Structure 1
Amino acid sequence: MGGISIWQLLIIALIVILLFGTKKLRSLGGDLGGAVKGFKNAMSSESDETKKAIEDTTEVNKTAQTTQQATEKKPESQKEQA
């Protein structure tokens, strides 16, 4: 009651096929699939770039910390020699 039965769906599908034809529907499906693939590729490459940027920032921070620690230790050893 109030729902769409399988027979109604089949009739609608038949009407759509008669209106547009199988070639147009096939090309429309191919275009839609290509668009979805392109979207997925763009999203995955964007997330890869984001991950690389985060890794690069982490490496730069680690290098800066080790450089800072090295410069902090250096004056102490010079004080001991004097």
Structure 2
Amino acid sequence: MLGGISLWQLAILLVIVVLLFGTKKLRNIGGDLGGAVKGFKKAMNEEPKEEDKKIEADADFSDTGSAEAKEQTKEEPKTDK
């Protein structure tokens, strides 16, 4: 094979990586990477919580209008007594 990587080249590369990093460090990296992938898959499968939906709704509202309008909606109406 002229353009591809052969089995021997992969084996040599694996030996060099193990010599550089050591098996313990490679095992730790693999465990961290696996945990990150599991966490990502779990987050992708979860339904958004009520708090997240409220934050999204607030973000949609805050993107429109002027800064003065935003401030007026945050303040309570003033009444004269």
Q: TM-score under structure 1 normalisation?
A: 0.55
Give structure 1 regions of 4+ aligned residues with deviation exceeding 6 angstroms: none
Distance 2:42 2:25 in 1: 26
Question: Offset of 1:4 from its aligned partner?
Answer: 0.8
Question: Offset of 1:9 from its aligned partner?
Answer: 0.4
1:30 corresponds to = 31
- List runs of 5+ in structure 2 lacking aligned partners: 54-81
Q: Deviations over 1:2-31 (max 9, x none)?
A: 211100000000000000000000000000
Give the root-mean-square deviation of aligned CA atoms: 1.6
- List runs of 5+ in structure 1 lacking aligned partners: 54-82
2:7 corresponds to = 6
The residue matched to 1:49 in structure 2 has which SS? Answer: coil
Matched residues, percent identical? 67
1:64 corresponds to = none
The residue matched to 1:41 in structure 2 has which SS? Answer: helix
- The alignment of Structure 1 onto Structure 2 pairs a total of residues equal to 49
The structure whose residues are more often helix, as a share, is 1
Q: Deviations over 1:36-73 (max 9, x none)?
A: 0000111111xx338xx8xxxxxxxxxxxxxxxxxxxx
Q: TM-score under structure 2 normalisation?
A: 0.56
